[in-house]
Structure 1
Amino acid sequence: MDIYLWIILILVHYPERIHGLKFTKNPANLTVTQGNMARLGCAIEGLSEPEIVWMKDGEKLYSTDQMYITLEAHHWETFHSVKSVQQQDAGKYWCEVEHHGTMISSEPAWITVEGVPHFTEEPKDVATFPGAPFNLTCAAIGPPEPVEVQWWLGGVQGGDYRPSPSILFVPGVNNSIKFYCEAKNARGISVSRTGTVHIKVLPDSPTNIHINQISDNVTLRWSQGFNGHSDLSTCTIQMSKNPGRKVKLPEQQVAVPPFQHTIRGLSSYTNYSVRVRCDNEVGSSRFSPWVDFQTPEAAPSAAPKNLTFELTEQQLSLMWAALQEEELNGRLLAYKVQWNLGGDSQEPLLFKENFAHVSGGDRFFNATFQVSACTVAGCGPWSPPVLIMPASVMEAQTQRGHMWVGLILGLLVATMVGLLLTVLVHRRGKETQFGSVFKPPGTENVVSFTAARSFNRQCPELSESTLDSLGINDDLKAKLRDVLIPERLLTLGHMLGKGEFGSVREAFLKMEDGSVQKVAVKVLKTDINSSSDIEQCLKEAAYMKDFHHPNVIQLIGVSLHRRPQQRLPIPMVILPFMKHGDLHTFLLMSRLGDNPFTLSLQMLVQFMLDIARGMEYLSSKNIIHRDLAARNCMLNENMTVCVADFGLSKKIYSGDYYRQGSVSKLPVKWIALESLADNVYTTQSDVWAFGVTMWEIMARGQTPYPGVENSEIYEYLIKGERLKQPPDCPDDIYEIMHSCWSPVPKCRPSFQHLIAQLEGLWAGLSPAPTKEPLLYVNLEGEELEPDSGLGAGAGTLNTEEHSWGVPWQCVGMEEDEKDWLMVSSGAALAIGGDYRYIIGPRGAIDGESRQSEDGLSQDVRDDEEDIIINV
């Protein structure tokens, strides 16, 4: 009976086990020529809605176009496609399904990529002394193998083909020459990058000497000139005081990089000159030209001396000694005279000279006076107080004072004599009582001491963390070393926000001059225990280190929080404090907050201009942001927008695109069409995201594509649909944002062009147009008006043109790109066309049913309910 009951429970709780759980199709091995398409498939039976995950070499693959097909009830098939196979796509692939805590895997398959040789190590530039020998290395692999390498040095062939890898010994050169290597296999020949042999020489003089003054400390920064093809090791700083008289100060030698040095202990309000030279292993550069500067003024360091007075019935006259130049520390503004009468402070008086005449002398009787010197930086210390009394009273007090001084001196002398006699008697008593001042042998000496410092062994002091303790790569350490800030200078406050990476906290940073700056600190999660996670967090800071633009958030520094009992510290990225928070929340509060407020159209366009200028700066630095949205833009106290959050950003060094490998949780509603299809990110895909951000601004923080799920975005866009024109959005602004959503990336405007368009719009707006209070409007289901600006740059379209027209055209388009526009404008759906690799709910061409690569009838795909696009 118990067995039957157990079986019934199994059937009730696990109905999917009725059919059994197994892979009915496993991926097959493929050998693909580089640039061609590869497709792997697998099918599983026994689950109603399986989550099939593709794996490559032990890592999970993330795809924006993964498709599921139902073969029958509880039987599903999925595919993984690589549309243009490259060498990095070669590897071991398989499918996995998790079921009730158990991971079930398919049989593995291998993709082998054949093509011309692929370089695993290209020759690097060489810097050497004349005639010194050196080696060059070149390595390439197939398949197919074998791969052979041939060298070219200074335009001359360096011997025959040799097996890869190849090391070429060069006995030495006297002049700079170029070199490269060729790699050959059965598929063809690949040519490496061209390298250069540089001859090491003396460096050039430093340039761009800048001086930042903070009280009596001066931070000197400079840029290295041409380094002579050899890293600079040290720089020498020469300074002189009072350039007219040229009083030379001792030279200071500093290690570089960083190319900066803080000079301490300088005199205030003093003229100095400075120059710099730098050294490499060949020798020293020439000195840079002298740069003159003046230290800022400070408050006087001394009080005026010799304060005296003359009192008559008519007036009080005060005199004091003027301060010396080195005591004044600046230009004298005035002497401040403070006086006190009957315990009450009176209104202070200001005088330009070192004397003062005040009428009505009798009213100052029994008053005390003090004087202080003042510069623009503040007032110095007060002189000792002087009591104002008539001359006769002062003489009498002086006589009594002399008498008291005599009595006190007499008492002191008597006391000293008494103490001396007591000590002598005591010493004499010790000798007579014990016979000697020394103790007899064998007596133990008692030693007492007082500890200079106590330690708590249960709470050991944590040492200051360094970048070397993180385990990150050397290049990243070198980038962050000059922005590392000791943790002791930070005081963390309340939390400003929290996300997957950790939290953002308000903090106060103590500066070199003792002042305190309010900052925001990005703190990584405390459960992070691997160097790779820490390195990923710090890469964002490394990008920001080189940013210097008013519309891009700037890095203040990086700090490391040492944790007890933990090997790795927690990295903290220190950023400027943004008073008004992120732009998305600000827009929402203007519409839905407790106290809604109106944002003028001019201000909204200014927000767009700030973002466009920041993105244009990033693109000029070869940075692709990949996560541009209103939530990642910050507002400072001047209502200026700064582009922020570079967690997904990527620097590109060659070409103009970046192919995403595997990143989870991408912001699909801001991602360009080609990025959803191919995982390719360019500056043009950032332009697409900028258009969506413009829509967010005009919709006051509403979520894009209301009513459209993330999983439906790709199909929604491929039909030619785009974000609808928000209420109160002028046509010309909508035309600009719509032009950013062309399916052909090169037809989208550049950020430079967007800036010019927005500046023209901004100039034409009145300073503060009066508007009705904002109302929340649900854009879901709202139809596109005929004059909404669809097809910006191609004129206004009527309703018929919206269905059949081809918007987003631009000069220099290829024929296949015009076909792509037909597909993306919705015309393909009207004529029943299937185009390239786009899988939609209509797959048949000319009404015919055709077989796909995996043998499935296209009619199977025509059922919309059986196709799920995973984004």
Structure 2
Amino acid sequence: MRPVLWAVVLILWRLEKTCGSVVLFTKHPTNQTVSQGNAVRLGCAVQGVTEPDIAWLKDGEKLYSTDQMFITLGEQHWETFHSVKSVQQQDAGQYWCEVEFHGVMFSSEPAWITVEGVPHFVQEPQDVATFASVSFNLTCAAIGPPEPVEVLWWLGGVQEGDPRPSPSVLQVQGMNSSVKFYCEAKNARGVSVSRTGTVHIKVLPSAPVDLRVIRMVENNVTLSWKPGFTGHSELSYCIIQVSRRSARRLDLPQQEVLVPPYLQVLSGLRSHSSYSVKVSCVNEVGPSPFSPCLHFQTPESVPLEAPRNLTFDLSDQQLSLNWGKLQEDELQGKLLAYKLQWTLGGEAQEPLLFKENSAQLSGGGRFFNASFQVSACTAVGCGPWSPQVLVLPASVQVQVRRTHMWVGLLLGLSVATVIGLLLTVAARHRVKETNFSSVFKSPGPEILVSFTAARSFNRSGADLQESTLESLGISSDLKNKLQDVLIPERLMTLGHMLGKGEFGSVREACLRVDDASVQKVAVKVLKSDITSSGDIEQCLKEAAHMKDFHHPNVIQLIGVSLHQRPGQRLPIPMVVLPFMKHGDLHTFLLLSRLGEQPFDLSLQTLVQFMLDISRGMDYLSCRSIIHRDLAARNCMLNEDMTVCVADFGLSKKIYSGDYYRQGSVSKLPVKWIALESLADNVYTTQSDVWAFGVTMWEVMTRGQTPYPGVENSEIYEYLIKGERLKKPPDCRDDIYDIMHSCWSPVPKCRPSFQHLVSQLEALWLCLSPAPQLKEPLLYVNLEGEEQESCREVLGGARAPGPEEQGMAAALCWSVPWRQRGQDEEQDWLPLGSRAGMVSGGDYRYLISPCGGPEEEEVGGGMMRDTLQEELRDEDDDIINV
């Protein structure tokens, strides 16, 4: 201890020698225990400084406040206070004051503020779904201070046992019917009651409802349905039974479909046929009853076959033609007529239509040497033509047959002769190649060596033919739009997968450009189950829409490529987009606080993210584009940390046809959808503004899931009662006011994106770092008069003086929050503090008021558990959406 004491004495002696005085704290803050809602005041006095620059710290982070006052107690003797008018749970912690003097920092002794109140639940009982007569556990945990906290259980309105210490686990032996339960937590301050949970008994699900056909393309029918009551157990798959109704009932093989989504494409059906379909869904208990049968008929098509056995009977008066009827399966529709096509003298004549499978044509002589063929026609079109039949008299036919026989015989002999000559030449050529002695002559006798090739290889064989827009069967307008953005598949090399979803996958790729350089891109490869040109056309229409976007905050289309599949007629469309180095914004925000190496994001950076998104959405709204799925997960971060809005226009096609269908809860991003969209399935630019407000909340909470604790199925009832997302911790009032204005129940009352851009630009400018001015420290008594805001100080009518410039710099640079009125609490929380990183937690419970190393270690463990639990909750929500 003696070396340490000598070092302290030496430092004090040097300071006294240099400065003529020693900095001493004559008053230190004291520990205080207060009840929630009461006022608290800490004092600190220092002697030995000419001008006070005393700063208050909470848990190691500086507290910024513009109403700090200094009271002189004598020459170079000052006193200051930190007060909180209404103490809340987040005010609990360790406080002290510091003063810097000639490069040396002096600190007072620390003091604790402990906030007492009724118990606070850290784990409330959750709903339980279980089988009948199967035991399960319920958990409830609450904390003070003051401690201890006892928990009392209530099950079905009846008290279960005696109070027990928190945390408490209740073992339930088994139930046969549904029952309500909750727990009470009691300490010296009072009693808190948890949420009421329900024990559900798992039963068989009810039959699916709203079974219908949502799309019918050629012979492919897309079915959708909604699950009925799930029986308090997750549905695993659904059973689809299909039967064709014809002369006799034909049951097709039963299909099992994993759910969700509640969709299935029935392919390979017959055209112009009647079908019946019904659906049953299965949970852990068993299958549900089947839904009522849905009857539908597939559309007509052109006939599959040509009429057979076309014959004629020619006389001087008329020509009689007859042909065989087509069966119902061959017609693929309702027969309208048989089309008779004939030529005479090499010229096509006007075709004739007949209802029956025969024709009587008067004037037989005029049809001499004419050829006929027939086709069957439905409402869609005509099928293939039958083989041509030449009309000749009977005697001529015999002569023609004999002539044909001799011509065929001579032709066969000629072909045989040519083949023989070719074989002879080939044999000689093989002898020359394989009989070495016939090529290389030696003076002595040698053994003849010969061989025969087992297989020949063509090393110059052609690869798969490059797909072109001409081969897709799409409209000419669409081909013209995409012609300049079509990228040959050979110029791209696909890399590892970046993500995968229902729409397909996103892969990293390298694109060779004209100057032989290579560009890294991202490629969206759609699913490989494309069966029609219509699917490709719908996808390419969206890509053509994207190519006209040119804005730094909207992701831009690079091009479209077509991947040709071996043995398949139709290629797979690939949409080529810029590669975003930092991925999607939601994942980036999560990593900033939950990753292995968390990092701080300044308030100015978060506002910049919001400003980028608002600019991109303003650009899209001016072009009458409705995004319909704006969220942090659909915003991308490029290399310079600029946010780009992505997945616009493609969301409906990329996910599925029912992605925005009201009622398909498993496919709806309900926590981002506007109130009127949930009610009436109506989407406008104002509904995008609502989603932008939710996205602002995601940014301010660093990627938390909106409406924590509220289930997707409860969102509509929650909003219709007037509830909205709560203000995030450490969120400024003006930022929360902006996002809250986006959630007006009246769409016309919400701000436009242009107005949002203006608000966020003004806010960002106020947060921008300004050069610090070396001005004397100002002592402002806010209780006597109101202080002007940053904007008012900088934008006044007269030129600001040096004193006002110093105030402006202090407000814009040192204090990154806006001022409140003089009657409001000046409760500034430190930017990037550990307290702000604990979402939904209570920082006073992380470190014990005792302040020992053991308590701090325990608090850190609780913090880690809180973050891991939050990450699991957010992952579940992302998967559900």
* Residue matched to 2:727: 660
On the 8 A contact 2:525/2:575 being kept in 1, the answer is no
Task: Specify the SS of the correspondent of 1:135.
Answer: strand
Task: Specify the SS of the correspondent of 1:266.
Answer: coil
Cα 1:128–1:70 change in 2 (3 A) is: closer
Is 1:486–2:527 an aligned residue pair? yes
* Residue matched to 1:466: 500
Shift of 1:466: 2.0
Q: Deviations over 1:328-373 (max 9, x none)?
A: 1111123334455676666554433334456677776666544332
Cα 1:449–1:264 change in 2 (3 A) is: same
Taking the aligned partners of 1:109 and 1:562, their CA distance within structure 2 comes to 45
* Residue matched to 2:748: 690
Gaps of 5+ in 1: 1-25, 42-53, 72-78, 96-103, 473-482, 541-550, 579-613, 634-641, 715-852
Q: 2:356 aligns with which of 339, 353, 358?
A: 353
* Residue matched to 1:573: 647
Cα 1:337–1:249 change in 2 (3 A) is: same
Task: Specify the SS of the correspondent of 1:161.
Answer: strand
* Residue matched to 2:189: 187
* Residue matched to 1:274: 277
Q: 1:136 aligns with which of 135, 138, 149?
A: 138
Taking the aligned partners of 1:59 and 1:377, their CA distance within structure 2 comes to 77
Is 1:251–2:254 an aligned residue pair? yes
Report the AA paired with residue 162 of structure 2: D
Taking the aligned partners of 1:392 and 1:351, their CA distance within structure 2 comes to 29
On the 8 A contact 1:335/1:372 being kept in 2, the answer is yes
Task: Specify the SS of the correspondent of 2:268.
Answer: coil
Cα 1:616–1:532 change in 2 (3 A) is: closer
Paired residues for 1:185-584 under 5 Å: 185-212=187-214, 213-242=216-245, 245-309=248-312, 318-339=321-342, 348-357=351-360, 368-387=371-390, 394-410=397-413, 459=493, 465-467=499-501, 486=527, 490-491=539-540, 492-493=543-544, 494-497=546-549, 502-503=554-555, 525=580, 527-528=582-583, 532-533=587-588, 573=647, 575=649
Q: Deviations over 1:570-609 (max 9, x none)?
A: 996363799xxxxxxxxxxxxxxxxxxxxxxxxxxxxxxx
Paired residues for 1:617-628 under 5 Å: 617-618=676-677, 620=679
Cα 1:56–1:386 change in 2 (3 A) is: farther
Paired residues for 1:756-771 under 5 Å: none
Paired residues for 1:34-53 under 5 Å: 34=36
Shift of 1:326: 0.3
Taking the aligned partners of 2:184 and 2:173, their CA distance within structure 1 comes to 21
On the 8 A contact 1:235/1:256 being kept in 2, the answer is yes
Taking structure 1 as the reference length, the TM-score comes to 0.51
* Residue matched to 1:49: none
Q: Deviations over 1:172-205 (max 9, x none)?
A: 2233222111122343222111112222222222
Shift of 1:35: 6.0
Task: Specify the SS of the correspondent of 2:203.
Answer: coil
Report the AA paired with residue 198 of structure 2: T
Report the AA paired with residue 156 of structure 2: G
Q: 1:861 aligns with which of 759, 762, 787?
A: 787
On the 8 A contact 2:525/2:573 being kept in 1, the answer is no
Taking the aligned partners of 1:500 and 1:400, their CA distance within structure 2 comes to 79
Report the AA paired with residue 587 of structure 2: S
Task: Specify the SS of the correspondent of 2:170.
Answer: strand
Q: Deviations over 1:104-127 (max 9, x none)?
A: 9x9999987653333222111112
Taking the aligned partners of 1:256 and 1:710, their CA distance within structure 2 comes to 48
Shift of 1:298: 1.7
Shift of 1:269: 1.2
* Residue matched to 2:48: none
Report the AA paired with residue 137 of structure 2: N
On the 8 A contact 1:520/1:575 being kept in 2, the answer is no
Report the AA paired with residue 261 of structure 2: P
On the 8 A contact 1:306/1:321 being kept in 2, the answer is yes
Taking the aligned partners of 1:144 and 1:357, their CA distance within structure 2 comes to 108
Report the AA paired with residue 575 of structure 1: G
Cα 1:341–1:471 change in 2 (3 A) is: closer
Higher alpha-carbon deviation: 279-288 or 518-527: 518-527
Shift of 1:287: 2.4
Report the AA paired with residue 555 of structure 2: S
Report the AA paired with residue 380 of structure 1: G
Task: Specify the SS of the correspondent of 1:658.
Answer: coil
Report the AA paired with residue 861 of structure 1: Q
Report the AA paired with residue 254 of structure 1: V
Shift of 1:378: 2.8
Gaps of 5+ in 2: 1-27, 44-55, 71-80, 98-104, 438-446, 465-488, 507-523, 531-535, 563-567, 592-608, 614-624, 653-672, 698-705, 767-778, 794-803, 812-816, 820-881
Task: Specify the SS of the correspondent of 2:649.
Answer: strand
Q: 1:163 aligns with which of 157, 165, 180?
A: 165
Higher alpha-carbon deviation: 361-370 or 176-185: 361-370
Higher alpha-carbon deviation: 288-297 or 489-498: 489-498
Report the AA paired with residue 466 of structure 1: K
Taking the aligned partners of 1:298 and 1:60, their CA distance within structure 2 comes to 77
Cα 1:209–1:331 change in 2 (3 A) is: same
Cα 1:469–1:619 change in 2 (3 A) is: closer
Q: Deviations over 1:100-156 (max 9, x none)?
A: xxxx9x999998765333322211111222222211112223344443322222222
- Relative contact order: is structure 1 or structure 2 higher (C-alpha 8 Å, sep ≥ 6)? 2
Taking the aligned partners of 2:193 and 2:134, their CA distance within structure 1 comes to 27
Taking the aligned partners of 2:336 and 2:82, their CA distance within structure 1 comes to 79
* Residue matched to 1:831: none
Taking the aligned partners of 1:308 and 1:558, their CA distance within structure 2 comes to 72
Cα 1:30–1:291 change in 2 (3 A) is: farther
Cα 1:663–1:336 change in 2 (3 A) is: farther
On the 8 A contact 2:626/2:685 being kept in 1, the answer is no
Report the AA paired with residue 784 of structure 2: Q
Q: Deviations over 1:786-833 (max 9, x none)?
A: xxxxxxxxxxxxxxxxxxxxxxxxxxxxxxxxxxxxxxxxxxxxxxxx
Shift of 1:562: 14
Shift of 1:403: 0.9
Taking the aligned partners of 1:393 and 1:301, their CA distance within structure 2 comes to 34
RMSD between aligned alpha carbons? 7.0
Q: Deviations over 1:516-542 (max 9, x none)?
A: 9999999895542676149899xx9xx
Equivalent pairs, count: 588
Taking the aligned partners of 1:620 and 1:81, their CA distance within structure 2 comes to 48
Taking the aligned partners of 2:491 and 2:392, their CA distance within structure 1 comes to 64
On the 8 A contact 1:557/1:575 being kept in 2, the answer is no
* Residue matched to 2:822: none
On the 8 A contact 1:32/1:112 being kept in 2, the answer is yes
Task: Specify the SS of the correspondent of 2:141.
Answer: strand
On the 8 A contact 2:207/2:280 being kept in 1, the answer is yes
Report the AA paired with residue 532 of structure 1: T
